[in-house]
Amino acid sequence: MKTKMLTFGDTFRYREKEFVYLAQTADILYTALILPAEESKQLDSLQKRIKDGTKAGQMLDNKLYCFVQLTTEEFKDRVAHLGNTQQDESTTTECTILSPTGKLNDFDLKQIKKEIDSGLVPKQLRELIKDILM
């Protein structure tokens, strides 16, 4: 089976879950987990309630709220969660044989890059994607 190298914004399945490929080093694979529709709805609803609350700034400064609402047709009404982007070495090794199942649209890619640039993600991930032009 011929595989294609994953690039920023490619989607893939791994252990019954869907992910967005962000970047990779020799030891670390950076991904965003695409949450199921129901979990996405709950997270989005929670974030909106907190924004209306008194301690919104403090509460939203949390990895839980590091996500992007997707507009790509295949993932409509779902979010790409960036709160735990770093995968371990065994996952990195296994993912080298994965093929992409799709690609996010340009709007979603821009939003993910913007969230990475300003969000609570590892500094190394910001460095790895800084030269990607959107």
Amino acid at 16: E
Residue 3 lies in a domain: no
**Boundaries of domain holding 51:** 10-129
SS3 content of the chain, % helix, strand, coil (to 5): 40, 20, 40
Confidence category of residue 21, pLDDT binned at 50, 70, 90: very high
**Regarding predicted confidence, which is higher, 47 or 88?**
47
Going by C-alpha positions, the residue among 19, 21, 27 that lies closest to residue 7 is 21
Residues near 87 by beta carbon (within 8 Å), at least 6 away in sequence: 28, 29, 30, 31, 95
More confident residue, 54 or 51: 51
Does any domain span residue 134? no
Q: Is 1 inside a domain boundary? A: no
Domain assignment present for 89: yes
Helix (H) or strand (E) holding 127: helix 123-129
Q: Flag whether pLDDT at 8 surpasses 70.
A: yes
Helix (H, G, I), strand (E, B) or coil at 37: helix
Q: What pLDDT is stored for residue 75 in this prediction?
A: 96
Contact 34, 74 (CB under 8 A): no
> Considering its fold, how many domains does the chain have in total?
1
Kindly state whether residue 64 falls inside one of the protein's structural domains. Answer: yes
Closest to 92 in 3D by CA, of 13, 27, 31: 27
- CB-based contact 24:10 (threshold 8 Å): no
What is the rounded average pLDDT of the residues 22-26?
A: 89
- Look up the pTM and report it: 0.80
The string of pLDDT tens digits covering residues 66-111 is: 789 999 999 999 999 987 777 655 555 555 556 788 999 999 999 9
Average pLDDT over residues 57-62: 55
Q: Is residue 37 part of a domain?
A: yes
Strand pairing of 29-34 and 10-14?
Answer: unpaired
Q: Mean pLDDT over all residues of the chain?
A: 81
| Residue with the larger pLDDT of the pair 73 and 2 | 73
